[in-house]
Amino acid sequence: MPRQIVNASQLDLESPGRRDYWVALGHTSIWGSHLLPLTVIVGPQAKPGEGLSAFGACHGNEYEGPVALKHLLREIRTEDVLGRIVIVPVLNVASFRVGARESTGDDGFNLNRVFVEGAGTTPAMAGITHRIAAFVREAIWPHVHICIDLHSGGEVARFAHWSGFFRCGDPEIDARREQMARWFGCQIVTAGTSSSKPSGISGGMHNEADRLGKYAIGTELGWGQSVDVQGTRYARQGVLAAAIHHEQLAGTIEPIGHHAEGTQSLVETRAAITAPYWGHYEPLFDCGEYVEQGQTVGYLHDFGRLDEEPFALIAGDSGIVISQAWGARVEQGQTIHMIGAEIG
């Protein structure tokens, strides 16, 4: 049956059964609304405040998450759901419509930077991006204890496929989060803290879910505004495994990829390299490769100074290349190379 168009206050995330919604969030430039897709399935064993939420397209040019979740909408049978599953294939509808990282067609904000105090509730932060953050906080967080935020690099960065979690210092919680991340099947599993992003970046949905004590997992599963084959496979696997292992979905599941092969690396980010000036980036290693501390890992070229030596990028630690600029042209101040040091 067609999706029902409702306001956020009309959502029902409690009653047994499946409901497919378009959630209407008011548009600021046309007489109408942004329509955000949300499906909720509630089973007979659902508990208050517990459930799994999975989000795609927090950025509008990252497609592995939306594609994987769209498939899962057809694959997950209502009769197999035990607890509560909330799937939002496209969270940032404003940026997804224009295929951009930020909501360039509307207020210009990056959704994964606006989970801040006052988002969507103060006049200075009343645009659609801040109101999406407020919607997640008010309508979804109270009903779930698991958050899976499916990202990829878009046009910003190329990643070794990874799934990651934040450590909280509680060994039991950290171990459970690590196992959730491992079940995606990626080569790289990242373990960090909610304040470990480069340059003190904050305001992310994953960061907030972590602070609220949820089992929160973030991913980077592709790049280049493509639909990566392995990345889409990992996204589907990770969501299903989390739902089954946390008793929100009946069934069994087998490991895939590097998880099945026992070839995963647990890493934490130790060295990030920032472009000191505008230029063109030449990588010397591919993502997923190992480099030694002090090794030259790439060059930054200034084509206005053709006769000068390029700027050599030096690894600040030994480890695995987990990220680097996707495009050759990079901006001054852009993080263009990241190394993850193996910790397990």
Q: pLDDT tens across 148-176, in order?
A: 999 999 888 999 999 999 999 889 999 99
At the topology level of CATH, where does 4-263 sit?
Aminopeptidase (3.40.630)
Q: Which residue has the higher pLDDT, 78 or 203?
A: 78
Is residue 318 scored above 80 in pLDDT?
Answer: yes
Between CA 25 and CA 155 the distance in angstroms is 27
Average pLDDT over residues 328-334: 96
3-class SS of residue 333: coil
Domain boundaries, the chain: 4-263, 271-342
CATH class as words, domain 271-342: mainly beta
Q: pLDDT tens across 108-122, in order?
A: 999 999 999 999 999
Average pLDDT over residues 48-73: 97
pLDDT at 262: 97
pLDDT at 201: 61
Between CA 187 and CA 264 the distance in angstroms is 5
Q: pLDDT tens across 227-284, in order?
A: 999 999 999 999 999 999 999 999 999 999 999 999 999 999 989 999 999 999 999 9
- The token pair at 318 is 């030994």
Average pLDDT over residues 197-220: 85
What does the mean pLDDT of the chain come to? Answer: 94
Is residue 202 scored above 80 in pLDDT?
Answer: no
pLDDT at 186: 98
* Strands (E) located in the chain: 4-7, 17-26, 33-42, 52-56, 84-88, 146-150, 157-159, 162-166, 188-192, 215-220, 265-274, 279-283, 290-291, 296-301, 311-314, 319-325, 329-330, 335-342
Interstrand relation of 146-150 and 215-220 (parallel, antiparallel or unpaired): parallel
Domains 4-263 and 271-342 share a fold: no
